[in-house]
């Protein structure tokens, strides 16, 4: 009964950690890898819609992140939807329950291994509050946390199945079920199997060899019975996966993601340094935490030197610990070259591309060794012994004092959990009731589509004679934050791409959860199949095939299906992974230049669709002309792309700080701040970022005296704050904070008169965190000319971008 009291205690700790998140209305998502949809109907569909899972990813318009091993996790989410849970309830429930389960599972393993209740409790507390868990929660990797929580239960079930008393079958079946659910994160499956084999080898010799073999056979049988639906296809594609492991380009990715040996020892082990960056804002000095973190390896030494009993268990943990260290650090020393050779030459080595995930096994070993060490100290205290020899006065530290010391260490080591820093890394979204209403309406529409038009998408530098009639859309690259709009506005989208010579955009379109069909021009290039092969590269984008190999493998594409509509010039690729992750458009947003655009709701695909010989298409229907729709300040995106580049400043070129807590940093560098703010760099590209009240200084050269308009391209989001720009004694203030993250946008700061000469610009962050991509100081007459040209072309054009707001 006490073990359930312990579970309640862990549950209370979890509730305290997420106390503010639980109290806020809304669901957690739209940040990093959080991919649980908001509506109950979407959760229910996960039970049978196995081609995609709703994911939020601005750079890919929202992409399907379904893997076969996620089937059990999706089924669980579907069951929650059936009983009435929505995204808000599920995301918060999973956080609290998973964190509690992580602690309780390690506690249960400690009790099973007879480490003592106090030692088992401390092991569970440590296991649930590691930096690894912090980073996984902040990053939204909930399936990985499921595997992490089940790892101790797997070893506990194996220990029970190999015990002398009783039948091995019940707990062996439980171990097989646990291993099946652990496979939601594939790397844990590999190490779970390895840990089972190692434990069978090193565990105390109880039950005999025959009982061990029976238990292993039952585990294997249960696992293959439940997982054959995805295991067999993987082995059928063995040759293809073997080729994918031999790409040097992919090894470069491994090197970038491999944590240093010291980071693995401290359980930081992740390029997404949410914990480390949150720690820098906590009450505990960073240097003190570093010192505490290096006490962890002393657990290994303490177990080896002080514990005389459980020698076989210690050998199992230490051997597993050394093996996990090797795999966790990846290509970094020591033995980094061996890891690289294995990755390039061994089959299925791409499983360990993200080596930092194996840090979970290091945390597992630390927790078990902590339990062994504390349990041994308590046992010696009762026997009147010290660490190495008998003590006539008894061991001076009582078990309660040992417990208090260890609890204090865990609290200090994991203080960002309790300070509220973890909650600050999560985004809670409150949706207007209109979104749910529109979602229900669109779901009932069987054959109608929302429409997105992609014009020429290869960005070209504007020529000086641009104003002589060149179409400005040629110079307008795809909006980086296009994914920030589309998944929140549309459901079944017909995407018309007028230039299929951009394979990565095609990949994003077909992988999008929102695109229902993609239409490309067959006559634009000699053979579209020469580019379609990129679409099959999503599992491993860094391994490229040549076109001959692509032609042979093009028929294997699983996401596309070719259909001809008219005279061989149009090819439609049907996206079988289309899953409705949508929000409706408010009626007041369906207006542009005084024109009511509500007719888009009833727009139907004309099967006689043809393209002209030019770079525009004929109307899809004969009823209404199709105009470009631009809302908010997206007109500025096009107009400012037309002005000369000399009027634009790139502040990141002048950012020299390496710590965003002290000043402006350049997010193009591969450092912890770069990955911590990957959503900035994926949208804004060349970006500078700060979380401090700091000022960035950079020069500006004005070529002639006239009136200038000042613009800044900054990130607008829920964590943003106020920015000031000082130029020639005039100060402009901008508030970029909003309830939802809306991405990078151009903001008009004001107008001023400047003389020819050199100036110094002071850009300051007053509060919050700020990300800035561009600053533009444009002669007002040139800006007016660019805007007029852009508006004239856009109003008369029949293709363009369809944006909306959220």
Domain ranges of the chain: 2-424, 433-629, 636-793
Question: What tens digit of pLDDT does each residue of 467-508 get?
Answer: 333 333 333 332 222 222 222 222 233 333 333 333 333 333
Pick from 115, 468, 145: which is nearest to 317 by CA? 115
Q: What pLDDT, on the 0 to 100 scale, is given for residue 515?
A: 35
pLDDT band at 304 (very low <50, low <70, confident <90, very high): low
pLDDT of residue 758: 92
pLDDT for residue 401: 77
Instruction: From the options 1.10.30.50, 2.60.120.10, 1.10.760.10, 2.60.120.260, give the CATH code of 636-793.
Output: 2.60.120.260
Phi, psi torsion values for 340, nearest 5 degrees: -65, -40
pLDDT of residue 711: 94
Question: Where is pLDDT greater, at 244 or 346?
Answer: 346
The per-residue pLDDT for range 640-680, each reduced to its tens digit, is 777 888 898 989 888 888 778 889 988 765 455 655 666 67
Instruction: Tell whether the model's pLDDT for residue 681 goes beyond 70.
Output: no
The pLDDT confidence band at residue 206, using thresholds 50, 70 and 90, is low
- How would residue 205 be classed by pLDDT, with cut points 50, 70 and 90? low
Residue 87, H or E segment? helix 87-112
What share of the chain has pLDDT > 70, as a percent? 58
Higher pLDDT, 716 or 524: 716
Is the pLDDT confidence value at 531 over 70? no
For residue 511, what pLDDT is reported?
37
Task: Assess whether pLDDT exceeds 70 at residue 416.
Answer: yes
Measure Cα distances from 586 to 26, 37, 377 in Å: 19, 20, 65
- pLDDT averaged over every residue in the chain: 68
Report, as an integer, the average pLDDT of 167-192: 86
Average pLDDT over residues 738-758: 82
Burial of 21 (0-12, 13-18, 19+ CB in 10 A): buried
> Which of 90-99, 161-170, 467-476 ranks highest by mean pLDDT?
90-99
Name every residue whose Cβ is closer than 8 Å to that of residue 698 and which is 6 or more positions away in sequence: 649, 651, 653, 654, 760, 761, 763
Query: By the 8 A CB rule, do 203 and 312 touch?
Result: yes
Distance, CA of 295 to CA of 724 (rounded, Å) = 45
Confidence of residue 419 (pLDDT cuts 50, 70, 90): confident
pTM above 0.85, yes or no: no
Q: What is the mean pLDDT of residues 681-697?
A: 81
| pLDDT at position 731 over 70 | yes
For residue 678, what pLDDT is reported?
Answer: 60
**Percent of the chain beyond pLDDT 90?**
20
Could you check whether the bond before residue 334 is cis, i.e. omega within 30 degrees of 0? yes
Q: Which of 453-467, 553-567, 576-590 has the highest average model confidence (pLDDT)?
A: 553-567
Of the listed ranges 55-69, 222-236, 309-323, 561-575, the least confidently predicted one is 561-575
């Amino acid at each position: 009964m006490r073990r359930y009291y312990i579970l309640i205690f862990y549950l209370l700790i979890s509730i305290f950690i997420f106390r503010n998140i639980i109290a806020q209305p809304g669901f957690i998502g739209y940040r990093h890898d959080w991919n649980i949809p908001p509506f109950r109907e979407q959760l229910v569909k996960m039970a049978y819609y196995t081609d995609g899972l709703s994911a939020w990813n601005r750079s890919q318009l929202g992409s399907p992140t379904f893997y076969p091993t996620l089937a059990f996790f999706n089924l669980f989410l579907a069951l929650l939807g059936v009983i009435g849970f929505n995204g808000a309830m599920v995301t918060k429930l999973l956080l609290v329950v998973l964190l509690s389960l992580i602690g309780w599972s390690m506690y249960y393993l400690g009790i099973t291994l007879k480490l003592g209740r106090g030692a088992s409790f401390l092991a569970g507390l440590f296991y649930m509050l590691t930096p690894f868990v912090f980073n996984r929660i902040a990053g939204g990797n909930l399936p990985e946390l499921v595997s992490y929580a089940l790892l101790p239960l797997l070893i506990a079930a194996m220990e029970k199945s190999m015990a002398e008393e009783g039948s091995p079958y019940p707990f062996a079946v439980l171990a097989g079920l646990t291993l099946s659910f652990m496979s939601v994160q594939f790397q844990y499956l590999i190490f779970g199997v390895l840990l089972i084999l190692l434990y069978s080898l090193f565990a105390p010799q109880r039950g005999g060899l025959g009982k061990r073999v029976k238990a292993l056979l039952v585990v294997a049988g249960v696992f293959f019975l439940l997982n054959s639906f995805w295991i067999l296809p993987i082995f059928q594609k063995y040759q293809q996966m073997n080729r994918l492991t031999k790409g040097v380009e992919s090894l470069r990715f491994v090197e970038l993601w491999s944590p240093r040996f010291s980071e693995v020892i401290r359980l930081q082990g992740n390029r997404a340094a949410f914990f480390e960056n949150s720690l820098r804002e906590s009450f505990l000095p960073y240097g003190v935490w570093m010192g505490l973190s290096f006490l962890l390896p002393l657990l290994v030494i303490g177990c080896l030197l002080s514990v005389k009993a459980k020698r076989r268990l210690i050998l199992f943990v230490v051997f597993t610990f050394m093996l996990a260290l090797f795999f966790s650090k990846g290509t970094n020393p020591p033995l980094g070259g061996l890891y690289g050779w294995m990755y390039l030459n061994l089959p299925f080595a791409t499983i360990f591309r993200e080596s930092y995930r194996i840090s979970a096994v290091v945390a597992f070993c630390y927790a078990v060794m902590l339990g062994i060490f504390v349990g041994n100290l308590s046992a010696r205290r009762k026997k009147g012994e010290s660490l190495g020899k008998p003590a006539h006065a008894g061991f001076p530290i009582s078990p309660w004092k040992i417990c208090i010391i260890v609890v204090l260490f865990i609290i200090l080591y994991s203080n960002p959990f309790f300070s509220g820093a973890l909650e600050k890394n999560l985004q809670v979204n409150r949706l207007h009731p209109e979104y749910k209403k529109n979602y229900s309406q669109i779901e009932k529409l069987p054959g109608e589509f929302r429409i997105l038009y992609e014009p020429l998408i290869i960005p070209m530098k504007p020529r000086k004679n641009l104003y002589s009639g060149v179409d400005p859309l040629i110079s307008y690259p795809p909006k980086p934050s296009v994914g920030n709009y589309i998944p929140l506005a549309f459901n079944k989208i017909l995407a018309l791409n007028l230039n299929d010579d951009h394979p990565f955009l095609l990949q994003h379109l077909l992988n999008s959860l929102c695109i229902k069909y993609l239409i490309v021009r067959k006559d634009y290039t000699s053979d579209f199949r020469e580019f379609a092969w990129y679409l099959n590269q999503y599992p491993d984008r860094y391994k490229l095939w040549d076109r001959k190999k692509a032609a042979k493998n093009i028929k294997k594409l699983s996401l596309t299906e070719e259909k001809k509509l008219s005279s061989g010039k149009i090819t439609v690729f049907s996206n079988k992974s289309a899953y409705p992750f949508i929000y409706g458009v408010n009626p007041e947003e369906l207006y542009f230049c005084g024109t009511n655009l509500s007719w888009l709701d009833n727009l139907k695909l004309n099967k006689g669709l043809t393209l002209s010989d030019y770079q525009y298409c004929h109307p899809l229907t004969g009823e209404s002309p199709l105009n470009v729709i631009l809302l908010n300040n997206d007109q500025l995106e096009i107009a400012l792309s037309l002005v000369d580049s000399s009027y634009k400043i790139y502040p990141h070129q002048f950012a020299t700080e390496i710590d965003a807590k002290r000043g402006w940093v350049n997010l193009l560098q591969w450092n912890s701040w770069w990955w911590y703010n990957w959503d900035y760099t994926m949208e804004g590209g060349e970006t500078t970022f700060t979380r401090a009240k700091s000022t960035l200084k950079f020069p500006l050269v004005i070529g002639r005296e006239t009136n200038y308009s000042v613009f800044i391209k900054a990130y607008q989001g829920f964590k943003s704050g106020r920015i000031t720009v000082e130029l020639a004694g005039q100060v402009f203030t901008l508030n970029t904070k909003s309830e939802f993250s809306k991405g990078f946008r151009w903001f008009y700061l004001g107008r001023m008169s400047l003389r020819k000469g050199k100036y110094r610009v002071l850009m300051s962050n007053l509060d919050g965190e700020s990300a800035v991509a561009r600053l533009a100081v444009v002669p007002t007459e040139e800006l007016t000319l660019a805007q007029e040209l852009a508006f004239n072309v856009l109003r008369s054009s029949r293709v363009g971008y369809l944006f909306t707001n959220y």
